[in-house]
Amino acid sequence: MIFCIVFNKKYAGKVVGGYKPGDSLEKIEANLGTSYNESGVLGYKTKDFYRNKIKEISKKTKISEILDENHIIVLPDETVFPTKDSEIVIITSGIARKPGQTRLELTQTNVDILKEITPKIVKVCPNALYIIVSNPVDILTYVFCKTTGIPEKRVIGSGTILDTSRLRARIAEYYSVNQKNVHAYILGEHGDTAFVPWSIANISNVPVEDYRNAVMKSDLYPEFNRDEVEDYVRKSGGRVIQRKGATFYAVSVSVCHLCKCLLNPIDTTLTVSTMLHGEYGIDDVCLSLLNIVGNKQVQGKILLPLNEQEIWSLHKSAESLKNVIKQIEI
């Protein structure tokens, strides 16, 4: 599936790519219009707006006639023209992850797709902020940085935003507490080598594993099981893919939240994937650390006080990604 959503200066969503076979207009509306309206990013746009845009692009590319599950559709040049001078470009182009398939197994195919479409988009949107969502997101973010010439502060991979959200949701369930009171992160690769820096995870400034004993009625809560939480986070995406074929809504909401933060003049901290230049002794790879985003760019990184084991895990994640990068053609 080749798919791209672009925000222009008036934040009007434009469909630039295609859909997988069998997707109805109503389903596409649900994935685009409804999700974005609920997020507040495109709140004032009506469903008719998206319906007309979808019909317009559908007529040009004859989506219903040319799409097939076994093919990749390369976008004709004229399809990119409506994106000209966009402020934010979201790239979701690539083959979907299949049940039992790791994100890294998708690498070369999705790298080739990215290299095929980005010159056309970058040509008409040279000043845009680019958000990479396609998997493996860290590799594709790296390839985009290396091949496009776009400044790195305007290239962001969605990284472990969703993983972090799943982690906080599971911790909140353990203690029946609001997720807003949970401060914990997933760092590293968006994939198998991602890890939780438990040394800094806390609920209202109380370390997560001490929270049960800090509450006066601690018998209300079960013993905290770190391994169970990590297993839940690691397998959540796979469970969704196994049951419905792909993940749509949670990742859409997380990317909308990222857009909202980027368009906000007030900075926000998020675990997005960006290029590293010596942080924690790691260089020349994209992975997720805690970044400051806002005012249409990455403002910088926050170096969390990780312990020795956590820094080792971060290096392990970086080496895993670098080993893949060595094996692909960029």
Distance CA 93, CA 111 (A): 10
What phi and psi values does residue 292 have, to the nearest 5 degrees? Answer: -95, 120
Which residue is it, tokens 């290299």? 115
* Residue 124: alpha-carbon gap to chain centroid: 23
The CA-atom distances, in angstroms, between 213 and each of 205, 206, 221 are 14, 10, 9
Query: Residue 204: left if φ>0, alpha if ψ -120 to 50, beta else—which one?
Result: left
The count of C-alpha atoms lying within 13 angstroms of the C-alpha of 167, restricted to the half-sphere facing its C-beta, is 25
190 is catalytic: yes
Through-space distance between the first and last CA atoms of the chain, rounded to whole angstroms: 21
- Judge whether 5 and 13 are in contact, CB under 8 Å: yes
Of 190, 257, 277, 315, which is the active-site residue? 190
Q: What per-residue string of b and e applies to 97-130 under the rule 16 or more CB within 10 Å gives b?
A: beeeeebbebbeebbebbbebbebbbebbeebbb
As annotated, the active-site residues are 190
